[in-house]
Amino acid sequence: MEATINSSAIDLGRQNLERKDVAPLGNRPPRALIDPFARAITYLRVSVTDRCDFRCVYCMSENMAFLPKADLLSLEELDRLCTAFVAKGVKKLRLTGGEPLVRRGIMTLVSSLSRHLASGALNELTLTTNGSQLPKYAAELKGYGVERINVSLDTLDAGKFRAITRWGELDKVLAGIDAAQAAGLHVKINAVALKGVNEDEIPSLVEWAHGRGMDLTLIEVMPLGDVGEGRLEQYLPLSMVRARLAEQYTLDEIDYRTGGPARYVTVKETGGRLGFITPLTHNFCESCNRVRLTCTGTLYMCLGQEDAADLRTPLRASEANDLVYAAIDEAISRKPKGHDFVIDRRHTRPALDRHMSVTGG
């Protein structure tokens, strides 16, 4: 089955290269994406939907108001924008949500984007998922050239999992991870550290993930959107988590990167890698190579700032991509040095009204 899917993806990619609404990579624009701080922008995260089948307490409110479907870019438009970024030097594309695998027809987009892997213009096509849809899509993802995925999983306790996700079922996510590994996908687990919820479970998460050959990345809660929960009550500094782990394990610093903000150590006792994403205790902005595109065509140059650029209007104004390229260049010229996330007794409100699900983390 895998060989058939790969062949189909390459054939579809060749067809897409001949479409008029997709910029041919042979006509590569001369201007690469370099921001005002001399950082090359080579990583695009694309939120293909703001919808999700979970309602995680640090990401969404329980009764979310989602975007009208009419506001969303079509899959073809998302493909065209992604292709414009690839043409301007982006080497890594990550599909996010919400939950990307609940977007109707999402495999059409994955299939189409896979042509950039086949051509060598793109180094990696990947996604972040809650895992619920992986039993259905894991083999297809692998067939289209996806090699690695991130699965968000904060606990191995079914009751806690239900409480954190509000709607999720742990068994379905574990089945999704099984399906992904059976398909040959490399799985990394992402876990948000939540004070008083899963902090006592972090060592067991480390051992479970490493025991299955999966990296684990711990993430500090980020102050985005009103989720109906107190951020200060959720916030667990990873400096504290790491100090506790160091009492139990030998943590050795390593120079390992996946293109994102995580900083990794190896855990000598398990042989696995453990990452830390610390937007609050240690600002990671100095090496930021990322921008984020929403499902409405809005480009956020920084996760922690409100400044954004409208790419939908220039996209729909012309079949040629000159206006899109100009809009992207102008946006990158405004990319800030970093975010201003703070959580303390004086800053209990979200830093931004925008929910995490809008920009995909």
Contact 92, 45 (CB under 8 A): no
* pLDDT given for residue 167 in this prediction: 85
How far is Cα 204 from Cα 153, in angstroms, rounded to an integer?
A: 13
* H-helix or E-strand spanning residue 135: helix 134-143
* pLDDT given for residue 74 in this prediction: 97
Model pTM above 0.95: no
Question: In b/e form, how buried is each residue of 23-50, taking b as 16+ CB within 10 angstroms?
Answer: bebeeebeeebebeeebebbbbbbbbbb
CA 342 to chain centre: 22
Nearest partner of 236 among 174, 286, 279, judged by Cα: 279
Contact 187, 130 (CB under 8 A): no
CA 133 to chain centre: 16
Judged by DSSP in three states, 78 sits in helix
* pLDDT given for residue 25 in this prediction: 46
Q: Which residue has the tokens 């190896």?
A: 266
Q: What is the full per-residue pLDDT of the chain (361 aa) written as tens digits?
A: 333 444 444 454 444 434 444 444 444 455 789 999 999 999 999 999 999 988 888 887 777 778 888 889 999 999 999 999 999 999 999 999 999 999 999 999 999 999 999 999 999 999 999 999 999 999 999 999 999 999 999 999 999 999 999 989 999 999 999 999 999 999 999 999 999 999 999 999 999 999 999 999 999 887 544 444 555 577 889 999 999 999 999 999 999 988 778 899 999 999 999 999 986 545 556 778 999 999 999 999 987 677 899 999 999 999 999 999 999 999 999 998 875 544 444 444 444 454 454 555 5
* H-helix or E-strand spanning residue 161: helix 158-165
User: CATH classification of 2-188+286-359, choosing from 3.30.450.20, 3.10.20.30, 3.40.50.170, 3.20.20.70?
Assistant: 3.20.20.70
Sequence spans of domains, the chain? 2-188+286-359
Contact 9, 111 (CB under 8 A): yes
Contact 96, 361 (CB under 8 A): yes
Nearest partner of 74 among 295, 298, 308, judged by Cα: 295
Question: pLDDT (tens digit, 9 = 90+) per residue, 43-82?
Answer: 999 999 999 988 888 887 777 778 888 889 999 999 999 9
Alpha-carbon distance values, 208 to 20, 32, 212, 272, 339 (Å): 48, 42, 7, 10, 33
Residue 89, phi-psi category: left (phi > 0), alpha (psi -120 to 50), beta (remainder): left
CA 345 to chain centre: 29
Q: Which residue has the tokens 């969404």?
A: 60
| DSSP 8-state secondary structure symbol assigned to residue 145 | T
* pLDDT given for residue 248 in this prediction: 97
Contacts of 208 (CB under 8 A, 6+ apart): 156
Nearest partner of 154 among 128, 190, 187, judged by Cα: 190
Contacts of 100 (CB under 8 A, 6+ apart): 47, 48, 49, 106, 127, 128, 129
